Amino acid sequence: MQVFIIPVTPFQQNCTLLVCDQTQQAAVVDPGGDVEQILATIKESGATVAQILLTHGHLDHAAAAPELAAALGDIPIIGPHQDDQFWLDGLTEQSARFGFGHAKAFLPTQWLNDGDTVQVGAYTLNVIHCPGHTPGHVVFHSPELHLAWVGDVIFQNSIGRTDFPRGNHADLISSIQNKLFPLGDDIQFIPGHGPTSTFGQEKMHNPHLKIGKKYS
């Protein structure tokens, strides 16, 4: 799997292009904006994008999904969990508030649930529902690649905000400790913002979690 990180929007959100090295089939995760930049990366990769995957419904992760889907031949938009529908319904209001142009509300082609899988070429990504930052946030995990796309659940030395509507700090901590950390210390993750890290590194050094605690 080739992974291209494409920082988009004024928030420098880590949109990613996932390309199966066996089939050249690809997916785009969290296209929040800057569609021309995303399309240029796709063209350079030579891949065929078959779907768009969304971790959650915030503007900087989801706003450009309909435009990108249309530009790529009306490909499906997959995710997040349906509990984030109110965020997608409010994209126009969000875009006006943050000066992101004019994002339109939309419904994805398919909602995702905990335990679902999505296929990117020859690779299977497991879907993990991780509420807290938003109620419908999902994480994509590849056991084969020891890699996860975590959106805004956890960052290097930080965790997602929970002061948004329907955010919940206790749910966020539970998602991290009970759903993500058990995947393994060696799992590298690509967060929605900032550099990559591993779950093992964050267990030991993330100041927003219990430093040094062992999670089984």
- In the sheet with 13-19, reading across from the earlier edge strand, the strands are 2-8, 13-19, 25-29, 48-53, 77-78
Query: pLDDT for 6-45, tens place per residue?
Result: 999 999 999 999 999 999 999 999 999 999 999 999 999 9
What CATH number belongs to 2-205? Answer: 3.60.15.10
Taking only the tens place, the pLDDT of each residue in 130-172 is: 999 999 999 999 999 999 999 999 999 999 999 999 999 999 9
- 90-100 burial, b at 16+ Cβ within 10 Å, e below that, comes to bbeebbeeeeb
When mean pLDDT is compared across 92-96, 114-118, 212-216, the lowest value belongs to 212-216
Chain centre to alpha carbon of residue 13: 10
φ, ψ of residue 70 in degrees (nearest 5): -65, -40
Mean pLDDT of 89-109: 87
Tens digit of each residue's pLDDT (9 = 90 or more) over 42-86 = 999 999 999 999 999 999 999 999 999 999 999 999 999 999 999
**Which sequence spans correspond to the domains of the chain?**
2-205
168, two tokens: 């919940």
